[in-house]
Structure 1
Amino acid sequence: MEQIAKFFIVALTASVLRYFVIAGLTFFLFYKLFYKRLTSYKIQKKEAAKADFIRDILHSLQTTLVFAAIACVVFLTPVKQITQIPPAGEELPLWWVLLSVPLSLLVHDAYFYWMHRLLHHPALFRHTHLLHHKSTNPSPWSSYSFHFLEAVAEGLVLFVVVAVMPMNAVSISLFILAGFVINVYGHLGYEIAPLWLRKTWLFELVNTSVHHNFHHSKFKGNYGLYLRFWDRTMGTEHPDYVKEYDRVQAQRIAAKQNAGEAANQSAGMMAEV
C-alpha cells in the first residue's frame, strides 16, 4: 500500500503540474498578456465568464485524481500483467520508443471518437458529458473539465494503449504530454494554425482549434480528437466546419492587412514631416 500511495502522489503531482503549467501558461498568454494583439485569432466573439474558468479548474482537479488512480491500477496491480509494459530492467529499442508515441496517438484518436459519440447518446449525455459542454466557449482550463464518469472513460485510454503495444515510462510520458498539448490547442478558443495549412493535404487530415470549438458551440458533429478521419469517414463532421475555419482565418488576414496599411500611412506621414 505504501508503494501505491507514493506512486499515486507522484502521478497526481505530475498531472496537476502538467495542467497548471501548460493550460495556465497558455491561458495567461492568450487571455491576458497578448489578448488585444490576438483579437483577430479569436474564434468566438463572446467572452467566457470567470465562473466558467473556476468550474473548469475545479472539475479538472477532480480529473487529475481519477487519472492518477487509473495509473496506479495499470502500473501497480495485476492489471499490469495483461499489458505490454516491459518488466523492470528490460529496455525497448529507441526507434520503437519514438514510433510508439504517434502510434499511441492514433489509437487514442480512434478510442476518443467512439467514446465521445457514446457519451453524446441521450441516455448518457445529461449525466456525464453535459458538464464538459457547459463551456460552450472553451478555454485552456476546459481541457480536463470532465464529469467523474467521463474522466474515468477518458483515463482508461492509458490501459488500452499499453495493452495493444509495448510502451515504457518515456513513451507513455510523451504520449500523455503530446495528447494534453493538443487537447489544450483544441480548447484554446483561438485559431493559431498557420495560414498556409488551408492549402495543403494536412488540412484534410488534422483537426484544428476551430474544429473542436465548433463542437462545443454546436453540440453535435466534430467528435474527433486529433484527426478528421473518423468524422469524415462516419459522416459526422459539421457541414459548416470549413466555412467557419475560413471565416476565422479571413479575419486574421484582414487584421494583418489593416495593420500593414496603418504602418504604411504612418511611414508616409513621417516622410512628409
Structure 2
Amino acid sequence: MNLSTTHVGLLQQHWNQLFDSTNEIYGDEGAFLRRTGMTVIQLVVFWSVGGLFLLADVLKPAWLIKYKVQPFEELPSYRIKHLLRVVVVNQLVSAPAGYFWNWLEVQRGSDMGRDLPTVQVFLRDLICVILCYEFVFYYTHRLIHHRRIFKYFHKRHHEWTAPVALSAMYAHPLEFFFSNIIVLMGPLITGCHTTVTFAWAVILPLEVLFSHSGYHLPFCLPPEFHDYHHIKVVNNYGIIGIMDYLHGTDRLFRKTKYFQQRRWVFSFTPVQELIPDGKEEQKRK
C-alpha cells in the first residue's frame, strides 16, 4: 500500500466534503470558503497564541521570564485594556479589505476549486507567497518610516519599544487596513489554491506574534530581528531579512549581540546563556 497516496486521498475526500457543504449553501465555487476560512483561521491562531503570551506577561512565571530578549517590563492593566481595544478595533475596521481582496481573487481567477494541488505545487506557491510578502512588506514598511510620514501613522506601533505579542496589531487603523492588503498580495499574485492561503493564514499570525513576543523560546522562531527594530526604530524593515541584506539596512543589527543570538535554539538553555554578549560560549568541560 502506498501510504502517501492514501493520505492524499483522505485529504481530498475531507476537502471535497468541506467544499461541497459551503458551495451548496453559497453556490460561489469556493469563494466563501476561501474568504471566511482564511479569516477564521487567522483569528483563532492570533487570539489563542497571543492570549497565551499575554497570560505569560501578566503572570510572569520565573521559568519563562529567563527567555525574555529585553529586560522584563511590568504590564499595567490600563495598558492591556488599551492594547486590546486598539487590536479589536483594527480587526473590525480592516474586515472590508479581506472581502474586497476576495472579490479581486475571483476576478483574477485564483484556484478556489475542489481539486487539491500536488505537494510540489503547494510548497512552490507557499514559498512564493512568503517571498512576495517579504518584498512588498519591506518597501511599504520602509516608506512609512520616512520622517515625513512616520509621525502620522507608524509611530503608534512603535509606542512599544519592548513589544508584546498582541502589539503586532497595535497600529493606526489606516495603516492596519493597508497592511491587510499587503498580507493578501501574495495569494492574489500567485493565484494559489485555497489550501495555500489557509497555510498562510496559520504561518503569518504565528510569525508576527513570535517576532513581537519578546520571548526567544526553545524550538521557536527567534524574535531578535524585529525586536531590535522596535528598540532602534531603524533597520530591519523586512520579515525574513532578505531585502534588508540586499539593501544593507541590517548593518547596525549585524554589529550587535542580537544578530548573534538570532538563531533557532534546540535546547532549554536561554540563548543569552548560550551566546552571552553575542560571542559563542566555549564548550563546557
Question: Which TM-score applies when normalising by structure 1?
Answer: 0.74
Aligned AA (1:137)? A
Are residues 242 and 54 of structure 1, via their aligned partners in 2, closer, same or farther at CA, if it must alter by over 3 Å?
Answer: farther
Give the aligned partner of residue 228 of structure 1.
241
Q: 1:237 aligns with which of 247, 250, 262?
A: 250
Q: CA RMSD in A?
A: 3.2
CA distance in 1, matches of 2:39, 2:272: 41
Instruction: Report the count of equivalent residues.
Output: 238
Q: 2:274 aligns with which of 245, 253, 264?
A: 253
Which residues of structure 2 form unaligned runs of 5+? 1-25, 263-269, 277-285
The 10-residue stretch of structure 1 (240-249 or 115-124) with the greater mean CA deviation from structure 2: 240-249
C-alpha contact (below 8 Å) 2:41/2:202 kept by paired residues? no
Are residues 254 and 32 of structure 1, via their aligned partners in 2, closer, same or farther at CA, if it must alter by over 3 Å?
Answer: farther
1:27 Cα deviation from its structure 2 partner: 3.1
CA distance in 1, matches of 2:60, 2:273: 15
Q: 1:60 aligns with which of 76, 87, 93?
A: 87
Q: Does 1:149 align with 2:170?
A: no
1:185 Cα deviation from its structure 2 partner: 1.1
Tell me the alpha carbon deviations over residues 229-261 of structure 1, each in whole angstroms, 9 at most, x when there is no partner. Answer: 211211211514552324796633389xxxxxx
Q: Does 1:216 align with 2:230?
A: yes
Give the aligned partner of residue 141 of structure 2.
116
CA distance in 2, matches of 1:52, 1:97: 41
Tell me the alpha carbon deviations over residues 54-92 of structure 1, each in whole angstroms, 9 at most, x when there is no partner. Answer: 3332222123224432221122x3x23443412544654
Which residues of structure 1 form unaligned runs of 5+? 198-206, 256-273
Aligned AA (1:49)? L
1:134 Cα deviation from its structure 2 partner: 0.8
Question: Which TM-score applies when normalising by structure 2?
Answer: 0.71
1:28-43 correspondence to structure 2 within 5 Å: 28=55, 30-31=56-57, 35-43=61-69
In structure 1, the residue corresponding to 2:148 is in which secondary structure?
helix
The 10-residue stretch of structure 1 (158-167 or 98-107) with the greater mean CA deviation from structure 2: 158-167
Give the aligned partner of residue 282 of structure 2.
none
Give the aligned partner of residue 26 of structure 1.
53
In structure 1, the residue corresponding to 2:63 is in which secondary structure?
coil
Q: Does 1:93 align with 2:106?
A: no
1:49-198 correspondence to structure 2 within 5 Å: 49-50=75-76, 51-75=78-102, 77=103, 79-89=104-114, 91-192=116-217
C-alpha contact (below 8 Å) 1:53/1:141 kept by paired residues? no
Aligned AA (2:47)? F
Are residues 235 and 254 of structure 1, via their aligned partners in 2, closer, same or farther at CA, if it must alter by over 3 Å?
Answer: closer
CA distance in 2, matches of 1:12, 1:233: 33
Are residues 42 and 70 of structure 1, via their aligned partners in 2, closer, same or farther at CA, if it must alter by over 3 Å?
Answer: same
Are residues 178 and 137 of structure 1, via their aligned partners in 2, closer, same or farther at CA, if it must alter by over 3 Å?
Answer: same
CA distance in 2, matches of 1:209, 1:192: 9
Aligned AA (2:224)? V
CA distance in 2, matches of 1:175, 1:9: 14
CA distance in 2, matches of 1:242, 1:35: 32
In structure 2, the residue corresponding to 1:130 is in which secondary structure?
coil
CA distance in 1, matches of 2:186, 2:261: 37
